[in-house]
Structure 1
Amino acid sequence: MKKNFLITIYSIIIFTFFIILWITNIYNQLVKLNESIKTQWGQIENVYQRRADLIPNLVNTVKGSANFEKNTLNQIIEARAKATSISINKNDLNQNQINKFQQTQDQLNNSVSRLLLIVENYPNLKSTQNFYELQNQLEGTENRINVERNRFNDKVNNFNTYRNQFPKIIIANFFSQFQEKGYFKSQIGAKKSPIIDFSN
């Protein structure tokens, strides 16, 4: 009788040990995937900051080379200020936060696109070396933004797929940092990122 009791106790201890080991493994994998998303979020912030840093140079070059409506330049400056002032907590990258961030960045993108369309009417400006270099840098930055956003969405997909599998979702729901993450989505009506073309 005592032997059976000891076997039962040892079985429970071994079973508990394996359950703890299994939960620890899931937790550690969730941490790894979550940290990967945070790292990628940092990359996204970097490329958006690069674009924000290019805009004052672009605006100053345009101001110095053309007679523009102040309204257009003021809209860009305001949109840039909004885009750089928004702060997203990388520990809470839910869909609502991502949408808020993306909306302010899209407003900035629209303002810059309007500026670049207006510039088409100023052939002298298009031929200046400074503007040409800034335009190339801005175009390259837009491509980087697209690449980093795609990488972010891939990492979010990996995380969400892993955490939403049963029974992992039960463990994930015990920890606030492992809530489902949000994706970057394309603008409504936009099938591809805007292309800035000065060749025409």
Structure 2
Amino acid sequence: MTMDRPDTVRGATARWMRRVVLLLPLALGACGYNTIQTLDESAAKSQKEIEVQLQRRADLVPNLVATVKGFAAQESSIFIAVAQAQRGLTGALARPGGASPAELATTNDALSRAVIPMMTLVTSYPQLKSDAQFLRLQDELTGTENRIAVSRTDYNNSVNEYNSYIRKFPAVMTAKVLGSKSREYFEVSDSAKRGAPVVDFNAAPATAPAAPAARP
């Protein structure tokens, strides 16, 4: 009976290990590991872009409030509601570990609803129509809301691709081993999709109802 020499055993082991190393990328690719990581990173990047645009929107709102308040200081209840909603969104964005897409969507929706009454004040305070600061901020807010909509679509498309992939075989098995779970979509209400109302600067200012005629 012959015994394998130690150096022969070590050589065979080394060759086997080299084969494993060479075949490992192919094995990981076949089971979907690389694709799962790529799709997950793409969705995470898209969510970060949404957060950037939401932060920009949250930063614009206080300046817009200050401008409108200069013409309509008596509308305090509207400004308080906007400030509360704005704090809700900034709080979600600043949360350690990050807020979920559902929470970001909810707080952003609340801000959208609060901003609408403030933007329609221009019909009652026509001086706002010619205020350069108001017009600039309104344009910036509209542009930011458009970018949020684009980012939301990109994110949801990325999430749909990722979620669909990890449900397919054999990726579903790899996803279970990795603990990869389906991602949430960024859903918004109809009011948030519409964004701030478009103000008609050619419309006549609102007038108070006429007082009833005195009885004879």
Once structures 1 and 2 are overlaid, which stretch shifts more, 143-152 or 31-40?
31-40
Q: 1:112 to 1:195 in 2, by over 3 A?
A: closer
Does structure 1 retain, via aligned residues, the 8 Å contact 2:58–2:90? yes
How far apart in 2 are the matches of 1:110 and 1:197? 14
Residue 191 of structure 2 is aligned to residue 185 of structure 1: no
Does structure 2 retain, via aligned residues, the 8 Å contact 1:23–1:171? no
Which residue of the partner structure matches residue 194 of structure 1? 195
User: 2:172 is matched by which residue type in structure 1?
Assistant: I
Residue 160 of structure 2 is aligned to residue 157 of structure 1: yes
Does structure 1 retain, via aligned residues, the 8 Å contact 2:101–2:184? yes
**Structure 2: 5+ residue runs without aligned partners?**
1-15, 204-216
Q: 1:139 to 1:68 in 2, by over 3 A?
A: farther
Does structure 2 retain, via aligned residues, the 8 Å contact 1:88–1:101? no
Deviations 1:43-84 (A, max 9, x none): 101100110110011011011122332111111111111111
Alignment of 1:2-21 (within 5 A): 20-21=24-25
Does structure 1 retain, via aligned residues, the 8 Å contact 2:175–2:181? yes
How far apart in 2 are the matches of 1:143 and 1:35? 24
* Equivalent of residue 24 in structure 1, options 18, 22, 28: 28
Q: 1:148 to 1:180 in 2, by over 3 A?
A: same
TM superposition score normalised by structure 2: 0.75
User: 1:150 is matched by which residue type in structure 2?
Assistant: T
How far apart in 2 are the matches of 1:119 and 1:68? 14
Deviations 1:71-111 (A, max 9, x none): 11111111111111013746xx8xxx322221111001111
Runs of 4+ in 1 over 4 A off after TM superposition: 16-23, 189-192
User: 2:175 is matched by which residue type in structure 1?
Assistant: A
Q: 1:19 to 1:185 in 2, by over 3 A?
A: farther
Residue 80 of structure 2 is aligned to residue 74 of structure 1: yes
* Equivalent of residue 69 in structure 2, options 63, 66, 70: 63
How far apart in 2 are the matches of 1:167 and 1:19? 18
How far apart in 1 are the matches of 2:58 and 2:192? 24
User: 1:137 is matched by which residue type in structure 2?
Assistant: E
Which residue of the partner structure matches residue 5 of structure 1? none
Residue 40 of structure 2 is aligned to residue 34 of structure 1: yes
How far apart in 2 are the matches of 1:28 and 1:81? 39
TM superposition score normalised by structure 1: 0.80
Aligned residues: 180
How far apart in 2 are the matches of 1:180 and 1:88? 21
Which residue of the partner structure matches residue 132 of structure 2? 129
How far apart in 2 are the matches of 1:34 and 1:98? 15
Q: 1:171 to 1:28 in 2, by over 3 A?
A: same
Alignment of 1:101-180 (within 5 A): 101-176=104-179, 178-180=180-182
User: 1:159 is matched by which residue type in structure 2?
Assistant: Y
Higher radius of gyration, 1 or 2: 2
